[in-house]
Structures are given as structure tokens and as C-alpha cells.
Amino acid sequence: MKKIVIIGGGLAGLVSAIILSRKGLHVHVIEKKVYPFHRVCGEYISNETIPFLKSLDLFPEEFSPPHIRNFLLSATSGKYEKLPLDLGGFGLSRYILDEFLFKKAQASGAGFWLHTEAENIIFHERENKFDISTSRGNIAADVVIGSFGKRSRLDVQLNRSFIQKRSPYVGIKYHIKTDHPADLIALHNFPGGYCGMSNVEDGKTNLCYLTHRDNVKKYKNIRDMEEAVLFTNPLLKSVFTNADFLFDKPEVINEISFETKSPVQNNILMAGDAAGMITPLCGNGMAMAIHASKIVSELVERYCTDEHFSREELEKTYTYQWRKNFATRLWAGRQIQNLFGNEWASNVAINLAIHVKPLARIIMRNTHGKVF
């Protein structure tokens, strides 16, 4: 029996582990943290995922995730417009969702090495196998799925092209208690960035923003930066002034890159943010990770059970299907990003939303996928 090693226990990694384990395949997941834990993430999941999740008994109904149907967009001045979401989504924290999926994966038979970091991966072409070095020891695999997130030591070891370029973006996340409507996702602009807000379980609100690193460097600490920069948008100032912040300190990630990545690198099948990250303003990265797990799992199962389906065909087919489903959405996200983070462009975006609503809906559709 072929052995599948999944590096990274995020959404794509966990859902892939569940699917493949339930097919009777030998699956092992390497995750550098221990569940549950928080991640820098918008925690909004498009409804395109619901039929797929329900078909696998993976929809987290027991946590009563809020259903999100409306979108509010504000300019740096605080001027805003509210629009209905064609497809909509639901909110759930990664702290809850990842542990929920982790337990499902364990029950399905997947093995785990937690608190373990993959340090090196070598593919031996002659033997058609991988050797993986980790902080816990070595492990061999016939197939490796890379689900190790936005930026990893492995990206450096694999000499991936995007890692050579400095990224100016910093992501910061809080959970707060405020009077944010449960059915609303909001996107608030401020100079050099934008902030997303939507509710998750238990009446909490996820507040996650992306800012230019120059904003962070200019001030002594994150709080000073927020008061000097984010507070220029009066809607954000009101939130930060009146909300109860539930974290002792924010979750922070540096060097977030939206550069093009390869879905296959050194014979490793990449999924989730490791394959490509959509700009957070599009609010669809979690749905893409779940969809990618469906695609990669179906192809890996075929590779493991059909001796006529070669590794070359596996990699070629996965690359084609990944690009067919996600490349246009990633490109659209990068273009839309240019409308955000400065006063002039954000006001243009607001005026488009107000006066050309069909165009605004087209933009939203182009960053979302179809039900799968």
C-alpha cells in the first residue's frame, strides 16, 4: 500500500487526510503545532463548500456558525455602501474548525505527528519515493501533499520562486465582542491596508486586517500604529474604541505573499495557501483550500489504486485542474487589491458599488467559485 504524507494540518491538509483515510489509504499528517490553536485568517467560508462538506459529514452545524448574506464596503473616509452577497457564506473560527476536522481525521484512521516540523524533503526519482526529515525523525512516502500555509521553512528549502521576493504585507487578527451584525461581512479601508470583520461562533467577531509593513515600522507598537492609521477610518475607530478584545495579544504573520506559486513543486502536490493565496479582501481562501483538497484527494486516490496512472499524469492533471479552478480567481484578486488601501482608489470603489451595482456583483462573482 502506498503511503501518503501530508505536511501541514490546515484546512486542505485535514480534509485531504479525511477523504484519503476513508478510502482505506495509509495517511500521515505532520503539523508543527498542537490543536486547537488560532491562525491569522478571515474565518469566512463561502457557501460553495456546503454541499461538499455535508456529503462528508464535515459541516460544523453543532457550532451554529452564523450565516452571512450581506457585504459592507467602506472607504478610508468612512463612507460606505452595503450590498447583498449572491452566494454568501458562514463564519467559524479556525480554533474550532481545525480541531473539529482533526478529530474527524483521527476517527477516519489518519496518523499524526503533532508539534513536529518538516525540515527537508527529497524525492528519489529512481525509487519513486520521498524521504522527509522532521524535527521528530525521518519518514518515507510515496506521495507528499504540501499544505503548509502561506510561508514556510520548506518554501526556502524547495527554493520556490516567490520566497525570493520580499512581500510588504503584514496580517493581524483579533477576536472581539461588539455589536457587529451576524449576517454581515464588512471590509473597511484605511491608508495602506484594509480590515475585514465578520462573526464566528458564540457571538464573537473576527477582526483581521492587512497592512503595509511601513505602517508597522513607523510606530512603536501595533496599538500605536492602529490609532495613527486605522483610526483614520471613523468606522474602525469606533470598533477599536468600543469593542472588548478577547486576545491578550493579536495573532500576527509577516511577509504575506500573493505572488504566483506552482501547484506542483519538486513532485510535491501543493494545496491551500501553499499553492497560491487569494487576497484576503476576496474572503475566499478557506473555500479554495477545501475545494483543492477534493481535487488533490481524488487524483491521489487514483494514483494509489490505478497502476496505469503514472506520477507524471498525476502531477500534470493536478496542475491543470488547479489552474482551471483557481488561477483566474487569484488573478482577479490581485487586480482588485489595487483598488484598496488608499483614499482615492477606495473612494472610486465605493462609488462603483453605489452607482454601478451590476459591476460590483460581477467583481464579487469573479472572486468566488461555483458550488462543488
pLDDT on residue 350? 67
pLDDT on residue 357? 67
Question: 153 near 119, Cβ under 8 Å?
Answer: yes
pLDDT on residue 59? 98
Of 307, 320, 314, 304, nearest in space to 20 by CA:
304
pLDDT on residue 110? 98
> How far is it, in rounded angstroms, from Cα 47 to Cα 239?
27
> How far is it, in rounded angstroms, from Cα 202 to Cα 277?
28
Question: 87 near 45, Cβ under 8 Å?
Answer: no
pLDDT on residue 368? 66
DSSP labels, 170-184? EEEEEEEE----TTE
The cell numbers describing 227, all together, are 490609532
The cell numbers describing 94, all together, are 479556525
Question: 288 near 326, Cβ under 8 Å?
Answer: yes
> How far is it, in rounded angstroms, from Cα 271 to Cα 294?
10
pLDDT on residue 355? 67
Of 224, 234, 229, 181, nearest in space to 209 by CA:
229
Give the mean pLDDT per block of 10 residues along the chain (372 residues). 96 98 98 96 95 98 96 88 88 98 98 97 96 96 95 88 84 97 93 92 97 89 95 97 96 87 96 88 84 98 97 98 91 73 64 66 66 90
pLDDT on residue 281? 63
> How far is it, in rounded angstroms, from Cα 315 to Cα 317?
6
> How far is it, in rounded angstroms, from Cα 313 to Cα 299?
10
Pick the CATH number of 3-366 from 1.20.1440.230, 3.30.930.10, 3.40.50.970, 3.50.50.60: 3.50.50.60
Of 292, 289, 365, 355, nearest in space to 329 by CA:
365
Q: Where are the domains of the chain?
A: 3-366
Which pTM was predicted? 0.93
pLDDT on residue 191? 87
E-state strands within the chain? 3-7, 26-30, 44-46, 67-74, 80-91, 111-113, 118-124, 129-134, 138-141, 143-146, 169-177, 184-190, 193-199, 205-212, 244-245, 251-256, 264-265, 268-270
pLDDT on residue 283? 65
> How far is it, in rounded angstroms, from Cα 45 to Cα 51?
13
DSSP labels, 61-75? GGG-PPEEEEEEEE-
Of 73, 310, 343, 320, nearest in space to 192 by CA:
343
Q: How many residues does the chain have?
A: 372
Cα atoms in the Cβ-side hemisphere of radius 13 Å centred on 80 = 17
pLDDT on residue 233? 95
Question: 332 near 309, Cβ under 8 Å?
Answer: no
